[in-house]
Structure 1
Amino acid sequence: MNTPGTTLRSRNVRTTRTTRTPAAEPAPAAAPALAPAVRQADGMAVASFVLGLVGLLAMNLLLGPASIVLAALALRRGTTRPGRARLGLVLGVADLVVLACLVSADQTWSWSIG
């Protein structure tokens, strides 16, 4: 019986038999760093959400459109947080709807509680 690593002779052909060891598993890679454009898009998605939320309470005229623009840019750039960007888009539109309702009720661009 031949053991691994011994030479076999057959019909004047010399072959070497070796045992195959399984290939070493590659070391697990560290968490891949996000590309700068994707990181910026994620920041835009979060900023859109925050601006839309704050815009419901104050400065609807400025924060609503800013929220819409940031959400659209984040979605176009391929954010990893599309739900947050869509929510920012919806909140930005809601800001403008609230502003339109307040303007039609008071006939003024500014509003106050009380």
Structure 2
Amino acid sequence: MPAERRSDADGMAVASFVLGLLGLLVLNLVLGPMAIVLAALALWRGTTRRGRAALGLFLGVADLVVLAVLVGADGTVSWGLAG
């Protein structure tokens, strides 16, 4: 595999991790699926950062689970942290 393509895959793995982590805090519905897609693409393209991509995939799924739990508890399509 060309080094440029592997470098792109490594960048996708890191981006999926970062987006998945951010998605736990804000914009779960947008950042979660983005993290999942980037992680899947990174793994498919043969990233050398497989652990980072797997963690990004896990965090992307966790974003959607957190959103579903919070929306289910609140009964609305939006949620927020109430003080």
**Gaps in structure 2 of 5+ consecutive residues:** none
Q: Which has the higher helix share?
A: 2
- CA-to-aligned-CA distance 1:54-92 (integer Å, 9 cap, x gap): 000010000000000000000000001000000000000
Q: Find the counterpart in structure 2 of residue 10 from structure 1.
A: none
Question: Amino acid of the residue matched to residue 10 of structure 2?
Answer: D
Instruction: Give the distance between the partners of 1:84 and 1:109, measured in 2 at CA.
Output: 31
- Structure 1 runs (4+) greater than 2 angstroms displaced: none
CA RMSD of aligned residues (A): 0.9
Aligned pairs, number: 81
Relative contact order higher in (CA < 8 Å, ≥ 6 apart) = 2
| Aligned-pair identity (%) | 72
Q: Greater CA radius of gyration, 1 or 2?
A: 1
* 1:104 corresponds to 2:72: yes
Match of 1:105, SS? helix
Instruction: Give the distance between the partners of 2:20 and 2:77, measured in 1 at CA.
Output: 18
Q: Which has the higher strand share?
A: 1
- CA-to-aligned-CA distance 1:42-62 (integer Å, 9 cap, x gap): 000000000000000010000
